[in-house]
Chains A and B, each alone.
Chain A
Amino acid sequence: MSEGLRLDGLTKRYGGNAALQGVTLAVPDDTYISVLGPSGSGKTVLLRVIAGFEQPDAGEVRFAGERIDQMPAHRRGIGFVFQNFALFPHLSVRDNIAFGLRHRDVSPLSDSGALRAKVDAMIDLVGLGGLADRGVHQISGGQRQRVALARTLVTEPRLVLLDEPLGALDANLRSRMRAELRQIRERLGVTFLHVTGSESEALAMGDRVIVLDRGRVGQFDEPDAVYTQPASANVARFLNCYNIFAGHLDGGRFMAAGGAFVLPNARRAAPEPAYCIRQDLIDIRPSDAAMRAGETGLVARFVTSEYSGSSVQYFFEVEGGRAVEVEAHLSHRRPEDLEPKRPYTLAWHADQALVFG
């Protein structure tokens, strides 16, 4: 893989708050990268600094070997797709898409035949055939998303930054656009950097996932590695599928509110001790059932459950009010009839837990 985007110690502050704190990354060419982080983690700022809308306070942005952080946005060869699409409201679909080619500062395309051919090809690529002469207020949200994408892609950027591109779409359309975005990217062979606050979107779309944690790179890895081996308790928290217990290590056990857990063989160093167990690895048993060999667990009172078709989310409460969630996939078992307020044993394999500290 050739050299793509390289960030080195990128720092950006607003007032006293650091939005980015020394972000260092190397993104390879021709890949789909998703950037996951809760709001306030600096993910939009990161995109804006790479695009050139904001100047970093420290650090370097290199692209294809060239340092670009002092370059104006429009000379970087980087496309940006805005969350609210930011289409030109007074122009038609065709003129929106043609804007970059026609009006760019560097080698604008003035030959109307060539311009039309390029724009038409792009309209076909993103599936907007027949809508070219409509105003952008006369098309649906999903179609506007395509116009925004086409408008950027037609200028042939080598890197496309997408700021929560599916955030403004309804759920149905969102899942369809996921597949389409990936297909379009593969066909063009450019790099997509896709910012999202949704863990499922990040895992589903990225060839690799960057997890941002308060302005730092929490983890940069393949989706399954991020999912099964989060690098820190915070990364695990953003994935929204782990039960995370605070507590302390005492001998061979992790002491948390509600239980003392047997430690797995491996554990990672971290300033704050934390014990994480994925919600779908937990088994629910009657409160008098004994732990099996190699297992650990706790006793918790059942509160309520949430049925979502292929799976059920069970909510438990341990002493002191802490919630524990269990996800059960219905293809493997039948939904269990649990009685509210009754205690149950929640058990899991000690080795499947992740321990930091």
Chain B
Amino acid sequence: MSTTLAPAALNEPQVQDPGRRRGWAPYLLIAPGAIWMLLFLVLPILMMVYVSFWTQTTFAIKPILTTKSWVTFFSSETYLSSLWTTVRIWLLVLGCTVIVGYPTALFVGLFVRNKTLSTVLLVLCVIPFWTSFLIRVLAWRPMLGEQGAINIILMGLGIIREPISALLFTELSVVIGMTQIYCVFMVGPIAFMLSRIDPNIIEAARDLGASFPRIFRKIILPLSMPGVVVGAIFVSVMVLGEFATSAALSGRKTNMLGNIIVTQVGSLKWAFAAVAGVVLTVVMGMVVALLLRVVDLRREL
């Protein structure tokens, strides 16, 4: 905007730009937010980076700079495998939320043209959030366990004879649980983008002779991609930082980076925790940067 306004301002020096005249006053509006973020986000991150280079002994931590914690992290089987577990679970959950969430969003955002009904349906998606996070996670145990609802039903139907033990306390149960919890964050943004598509556009494509699969591929999917990207960013940031779901549903067998941080902090190994935290922050940054490259959000929104 400023570049387009500049020539006009030169031609008419009498006219004062009302936005400019107020000077620094508008910046007061963002001051509380900026101060908050500086104190409680930027400073802690810098602190975390700093602490990751401190010297860790069994019972104490000293501010003597060393790369020992970093070397330990990247030469340890446990830490590297937890990094890989984190990435694997993130990709699986992301894939599952797209597979479950996109068709749901397609229904709510595109096929339900009644605004009230589509709002009601979106609220229905959010209803699980009226219970606490812990209850939502733990509720999966009686569902997935060996004596759980799914095994009982499958055995009752005669589909299986022995209960499937792989359902609970495995990576599968972690993925199932996370998909359920985070799916709505995928549905929301996609449904929003889909509901903004002018129905005339789809009718126009139909009138021009395209079949629905074609219209979906060439019109609906590209126009909803910003929603998919925003949803993917929500889900990614939350899944990458997860520790509670993986602890509760894997029986502490699946260790994500979040679990490592919790354990290290619990045993006062601040330097190791800080290293894992920095690695996690960097991974998240890369993931978000990658997703933002998929679609130019500035243009699409």
Distance, CA A84 to CA B201, complexed state (A): 10
Contact with A along B199-231 (1 / 0, CB 8 A): 011011111111100110011001100000000
**Interface assignment of B12: CB less than 8 Å from any CB of chain A:** no
How far apart sit A104 and B213, CA to CA, in the bound complex (Å)? Answer: 11
Known contacts A74-B208, A104-B208: A99-B218 contact under CB 8 Å: yes
Q: Cβ of A84 and Cβ of B198 under 8 Å apart?
A: yes
For the complex, give the distance between the alpha carbons of A84 and B218 in Å: 20
A99-B200 contact, Cβ under 8 Å, with A90-B222, A90-B223 = no
CA distance A100 to B211 in the complex (A): 11
Task: Verify if A315 is at the interface (C-beta below 8 Å from B).
Answer: no
Q: Is A251 an interface residue when CB atoms closer than 8 A count as contact?
A: no
A79 CA to B203 CA in the complex, in Å? 11
- Smallest beta-carbon distance A158→chain B, Å: 14
Please tell me which one of the listed residues A53, A84, A103 contacts residue B209 in the complex, with CB atoms under 8 A apart. Answer: A103
**CA gap between A86 and B208 in the complex, in Å:** 12
Do the beta carbons of A84 and B208 come within 8 Å of each other?
A: no
Task: Report the nearest A residue to B218, measured CB to CB.
Answer: A103
Total interface residues in chain B, CB < 8 Å? 18
Shortest Cβ gap from B201 to chain A (Å) = 5
Classify chain A: how many residues form its interface, as a range. Answer: 20 to 34
Residues of B within 8 A of A53 (CB): 203, 206-207
Report the minimal beta-carbon distance from A276 to chain B, rounded to whole angstroms. Answer: 38
A187-201 with Cβ < 8 A to chain B: none
Residues of A within 8 A of B222 (CB): 90
Contact A104–B210 (Cβ < 8 Å): yes
Cross-chain contact of B201 among A74, A78, A86 (Cβ < 8 A): A86
Q: A84-B198, A88-B201 are in contact. Are A73 and B207 (CB under 8 A)?
A: yes
Q: Smallest CB–CB gap between B198 and chain A, Å? A: 6
Q: How far is the CA of A49 from the CA of B206 in the complex (A)?
A: 14
In the docked arrangement, what's the CA distance between A73 and B206, Å? Answer: 7
Contact A100 B208 (CB under 8 A): yes
CB contact list, A104-125 vs B, under 8 A: 104-106
Give the distance in Å from the alpha carbon of A73 to the alpha carbon of B211 in the complex: 10
A:42-83 near B, CB below 8 Å: 51-53, 73-75, 78-80, 82
In the A-B complex, the 6 residue pairs with the closest CB atoms: A104-B209, A100-B208, A86-B200, A74-B209, A86-B204, A103-B210
Q: Which residues of A contact B (CB under 8 A)?
A: 51-53, 73-75, 78-80, 82, 84, 86-90, 99-100, 103-106, 151-152, 155
